[in-house]
Structure 1
């Protein structure tokens, strides 16, 4: 049997996390989002997601428990954000890599990684450090809006 895989982030602000990762990962969107709008746009016919939740009778206390972002091509795992009360206190043991420089020379790769890091810093990420590799390449370690580490390779 083959199982589908989803990634799950425990977090405190599911909207903030989903918005960040929608910006970070091109080709992901919220289920039900207006396909003609930008990623995360409310469903067609609704000005906001709150309007949609009101129209669908979703109680306010349930609206911020979780979010899922899905790959619009259906080839990559869903990413699920689940609200938890506790803060992140240690380094995460699993992280995502954004592969931005595959197939490029070390110099071109660093330039591509830097450009991607700038874009993600503008979306709320923090650059932690650059890690140099034995083959002359490198990757960047960043943190998302709630401090979860991820890499740009």
Structure 2
């Protein structure tokens, strides 16, 4: 897997937010290092105290195409709008802006993600720019469903 690009998100609960993003992106938990059956075995062998096992969490594209998403625990909460956000397409549909939007598909996917903990911020329908829905993950990080 190409590691030139890794996206890092700060989180209060890396494992929970990582599970949300795994569902959004169709990703899976990053497998433990060779020689270990589970991350718990790995962290125990490394001597990391159990209360620190949720300090970080990573998910990966099972096809090895997309970037790794690494979530790291931070003490502070999100206070301002993201300076960077992800545009996420519908499962099985390439992510792009332009062309005829699948409004019904995007709305249906947004509703699914809301059940998982996303918050809908706004719907944008602009003749020039296209159609998308702005959402926030369970910890307030914005992303666009396109």
Q: Structure 2 length as normaliser, TM-score?
A: 0.81
> Structure 2 CA distance, aligned partners of 1:86 and 1:116?
30
Displacement after TM superposition at 1:11 (Å): 1.0
Partners of 2:114 and 2:16 in 1: CA distance: 14
* Match runs of 1:1-153 below 5 Å: 4-26=4-26, 28-32=27-31, 52=41, 56=45, 57-100=47-90, 105-106=100-101, 109-135=102-128, 137-153=130-146
Unaligned runs of 5+ in 1: 34-42
Query: For 1:72, what is the secondary structure of its paired residue?
Result: coil
How big is each residue's C-alpha offset from its partner over 1:18-59, in whole Å with a ceiling of 9 and x where there is no partner?
Answer: 111011111x111227xxxxxxxxx86x7xx65x46764542
How large is the Cα RMSD of the aligned pairs? 2.6
Cα offsets for 1:87-145 (capped at 9, x unmatched): 10000110111122658734xx1101001101101110011100122248310000000
Total equivalences in the alignment: 136
Counterpart of 1:40 in structure 2 is none
Residue 66 of structure 1 contacts residue 82 of structure 1 at CA under 8 Å; is this kept in 2?
yes
Unpaired segments of 5 or more residues in structure 2? none
**TM-score of the superposed pair, with normalisation by structure 1:** 0.77
